[in-house]
Chains A and B, each alone.
Chain A
Amino acid sequence: MRLFSVRAVLTSSLLLAGVALAGWTKTGDGVASFKGVGPAGFKIEGKTRSVDVKDDGKTLTVVVGLKDLETGIDLRDKHMRDKYLEVEKFPEATLAIPHDEIKWPDEGKSGEGSGKGTFSVHGKSKEISFKYKITNSGGTFAIEGEAPVNFKEHDVNVPSYMGITVKPDITVFAKFNAKKG
């Protein structure tokens, strides 16, 4: 199960918000997840509700805590956290998105798009492309996005357990609400 750990990486996935505006904060619950696959129809999905948003006025950063990432099997979670993501050393995955990578819809409208950001996990950063969908409801923006990530590019060991090896290409997702505040 270590393998499964695919993890972390993904986690990050995130989204983006784009904010062309400074002072965005997360509201309500959020969720981040990843999906990975292996041989013979094997698949793994990890989830965490530890999602936060930071904004320095130029860059919106989605921060996913990895310590609570769960895949549905405890031993696999343990492998993922300790052996592959090394969450004690690297407790977070982040996606940093320049404000101008996102277009914010007007009140009552939705918008979809894609952009580029810097994804960091396991101490390694790499620029990735992401897709997003944002809905503006009374000034609260429901944001969801996904991005493909290759965890070998982040120096995460390829999870392999008892003959089952997870493919390094995974997809990370994030979903949360944000508000300019």
Chain B
Amino acid sequence: MRKLGWLLAVAVALGGSTAAAFPWMVKHDYQSCAVCHVDPSGAGQLTPYGRAQSDVLLRWRIKKPTADEAQEPSPTTRFLWFIDLPEVVNLSGNFRGGAMIPVGGAPRPLFMAADLYGTVKVDRFVFHASSGLGLRNVGPAAILPQCGGDKPCNAQWVAREFWAGATFADEAVMVRAGRMFVPFGLRNNEHFMWVRDTTNTDTNLDQQVGVSASYNGEKLRGEVMGLLGNYQLGPDAYRERGYSAFAEYTVLSKLYLGLSSLIAVSQADLLLQLPQVRHAHGVTMRWSPLEPLALLAEVDFLAWQQPTRLDRLGFAALVQADFEVMQGLHLIGSVEGQHTGSQERGPSVGGWVSAAWYVLPHVEVRLDAILRRTARPAPDPATVGFTLLGQLHFFL
């Protein structure tokens, strides 16, 4: 059990979150992510407005200020705490480290992400790139040195995003080309949750090269992306091509329902090297019934089709409640499930209890307690793992 816990913790930690996204911002009536994030569908680098909001709405305050007491965002919300950049340039950074705390074991330090973001916005044209240092298992985003096979990807220069785009219709529409996050489902912060992991749509290592068009309107938002593959891996047979898309509609005030769909074709999967068609199709919900509470849900149908093998059918699901105890201190409860169609006897289920504390400008402290029961192919019994994960996150 202890080793399982370690495995999970390592997996969690090495997955490393590199791009914060907060779908629970619906509690502040922000359906559109494009206002606060450079990526029109959310996650990753903040816009200047988003940077200000992170100070006004996210940062911890013992007592919530009234309107009369409200202060302008701290000057420390600027790049590197104090640098005032020209309007066309947006620079920021993301550093995340932490400790894995296995029950009954010694804490183990972890280095998760060290990325810099840059965006230049001239008129309607936007150019964005991120780059940094990756330690451990960063192959899919690696630039140099080459790794894989017998060369571990444990110290690489990485580039997760680089794209160019143009906005239209008062920035409601953006057309982009380059390496981007894959638009699918909730862009939740916990990128290794099963809904992200089984759909290969997390914001850590699952970016793809492609062309996309996004829309952010008053009641509707969405994005469709043609997937051309991850050109930072090879041979070409392993690259997935197809499409991924999502759309989300405002049903009621602070209630949003969405649909996602992805079909990706590769000439070879990594284990059996068989051609594969991978499907993921799902529904999402974001709802803030009370001001401090946001409820998020996603259910995805999954399928893997390969010649000579029966189609595998599965699912991934997540229900999450984010409760803001006081401004800047979030308690988060999550229940997740999955079945990968690999002859498991029943689904895998997991529960998370998390606390996220945005204690200072640019600083987040987070603790997750994760209990997962992982189903295994029959007749093997399921395994259970428990992990504590502490994280310290700086964003410049």
Residues on A facing B (Cβ under 8 Å):
1, 37-43, 45, 70, 72-75, 77-78, 81, 161-164, 167
Contact B35 A74 (CB under 8 A): no
Q: With A40-B35, A40-B172, A41-B35 in contact, is A72–B29 under 8 Å at CB?
A: yes
Chain A residue numbers with a CB within 8 Å of B69 are 74
Chain A binder among B5-13, B46-54, B273-281, B302-310: B46-54
Report which residue of B57, B71, B171 has the largest number of chain A beta carbons within 10 angstroms of its beta carbon. B171
If over half of B's interface residues share one DSSP class (helix, strand or loop), that class is named, otherwise mixed; here it is loop
Contact B70 A41 (CB under 8 A): no
Q: Which residue of A lies closest to B34 (CB)?
A: A40
Which of A1, A37, A38, A74 is B66 in contact with, Cβ under 8 Å?
Answer: A74
Q: Would you mind naming 5 contact pairs between A and B with Cβ atoms under 8 Å apart?
A: A38-B35, A40-B216, A41-B35, A163-B49, A167-B170
B: contact size bracket: 35 or more
Chain B residue numbers with a CB within 8 Å of A39 are 35, 170-172
CB proximity of A148 to chain B, nearest CB, Å: 15
Contact B70 A40 (CB under 8 A): no
CB proximity of B33 to chain A, nearest CB, Å: 8
Q: With A78-B68, A164-B49 in contact, is A41–B172 under 8 Å at CB?
A: yes
Chain B residue numbers with a CB within 8 Å of A1 are 56
B290 within 8 A of A: no
Q: Which residue of A lies closest to B57 (CB)?
A: A73
Q: Which residue of A lies closest to B47 (CB)?
A: A163
B72 within 8 A of A: yes
Chain B residue numbers with a CB within 8 Å of A42 are 32, 35
Contact B32 A41 (CB under 8 A): yes
Report which residue of A37, A38, A43 has the largest number of chain B beta carbons within 10 angstroms of its beta carbon. A43
Contact B28 A73 (CB under 8 A): yes
**Other than the known A40-B216, A41-B172, A78-B70, what 8 A-B pairs have Cβ atoms closer than 8 Å?**
A37-B218, A40-B172, A41-B35, A41-B218, A72-B28, A75-B73, A77-B67, A163-B49
Which of B32, B56, B253 is A75 in contact with, Cβ under 8 Å?
Answer: B56
Complex interface bits, B66-86 against A, C-beta within 8 A gives 1, otherwise 0: 111111110000000000000
CB proximity of A92 to chain B, nearest CB, Å: 18
Chain A residue numbers with a CB within 8 Å of B216 are 40-41
Contact A81 B48 (CB under 8 A): no
B372 within 8 A of A: no
A74 to B65, CA, bound (A): 7
Q: Which residue of B lies closest to A77 (CB)?
A: B67
Contact A75 B29 (CB under 8 A): no
Lowest 5 A-B CB distances belong to which pairs?
A41-B32, A41-B216, A40-B34, A77-B67, A39-B171
Chain A residue numbers with a CB within 8 Å of B3 are none
